[in-house]
Each structure stands twice: as C-alpha cells, then as structure tokens.
Structure 1
C-alpha cells in the first residue's frame, strides 16, 4: 500500500474543490488510506436527514456533517514554510516525513497502535 503523507490531526490546506481556500488551515479528523480520502474539519459539509431515536436521545431533523474529500485535494502545511509536498526518508529503521521545500522533518503526532 502506498504511504500517505497526511495523518490524523495534521494541519492541511484545501487546494481544489468548492471549499478551496489557500489561506485557511484546517485539521484532519480521519484518514481512509484504502479509499484515498480524508475527513477535514469544516470542509465539504453536507446535510443529512436524521431520524429521531428516543432510546439514544437523538432528536430528528437535518444535521450537518463533514464528508470525505480526496487526498489529492489537500496539501500538508509545514510549520516552517507553509503548504508543501511531503517526502519520506529513512532514519535508522524509522520512516519519517520530510518537507520538500525546507527539508525539515515534519513531526508525527503521537500514533497509537
């Protein structure tokens, strides 16, 4: 499987689609590597009809939620130089993400296994 350059809780910029805004940084909520899609906060918001469920204390109506966007439509934001492409390099036996512009390592948020 191909290694994705984007992980959960990364800061990204939407570079294509109706929510394109190169000035606003958004947070990644989840990544689906098999489908190549990411769920980004406040991007591609859709309306969903929700049925009431008294057992779960859910009120019915129209709810808004984020829908996944393709991973090619977002770009990772490097803390030093802004939106950039992501490279990988091996440091010992670990594979780390690297900014293509400045060459600095992009920190990985604590990954749980």
Structure 2
C-alpha cells in the first residue's frame, strides 16, 4: 500500500505584501480594515493589525508577577481578505505584470500600479 501525503497548497504570495491595506471578507471581523503586519507564505496566512484578536489568560510565574489577561492577534487565511487599491480605494484582486526585468503588482479594477 502506498501512503499519500496530505499536501496543502503552497502559494508563493507575491501579490500580498507587508504594509498593504486589506479588508476582511469572511469571519467574525467581516468588513474591518487594517494593514498587514506579517505574511506566512508556507501556511497561506497573514496577520492584520487590529483584526482577529483574542484574549489569553496568563498565570503568574512567580509571586511577584501578577496574573494577567493579554490580547493577541491570530493569523487569517489569505483567501479571507482582499487588498484595497491605494488609487481607487476599492477592494480588488491583484494582478502581476512584467515590465522589462521587473514584476509589478497592478489593480485589476483601475489597472494602476499598487
């Protein structure tokens, strides 16, 4: 019997970069906007500032340090967000265009460089 490995799709995301402004399309934070803080290409996930936050209760580690509740941000799947074009200010898909020896990201709605 041959074993089939469970393979996830590994997308090389040139289309989404750190610092892009995005809007959340699905989930509990649907409609919220924020900037991308981190991109995890192997997991197909991103971290957006102020979105998908949860609270974690931390036990005290010593008698001097009190217990506390901290707020953390979880990564979101890339498919649940859409990039907002800085020129037309609309959620859009990102296309790639080759000019000479460079690859440029373009907005699919207004055809301008992102």
Q: What does residue 110 of structure 1 align with? A: none
Between structure 1 and structure 2, the one with the greater Rg is: 2
Q: What is the root-mean-square deviation of aligned Cα atoms in Å?
A: 1.9
- Unpaired segments of 5 or more residues in structure 2? 1-9
1:75 corresponds to 2:73 = no
**Secondary structure in structure 2 of the residue aligned to 1:103:** coil
State how far apart, in whole Å, the 2-side matches of 1:91 and 1:53 are: 56
Give 1:39 deviation, angstroms.
0.3
Taking structure 2 as the reference length, the TM-score comes to 0.79
1 or 2, which has the higher strand percentage?
A: 1
Residue of structure 2 aligned with 1:2, choices 11, 28, 31? 11
- Unpaired segments of 5 or more residues in structure 1? 107-113
State how far apart, in whole Å, the 1-side matches of 2:56 and 2:112 are: 41
1:16 corresponds to 2:34 = no
Give 1:29 deviation, angstroms.
0.7
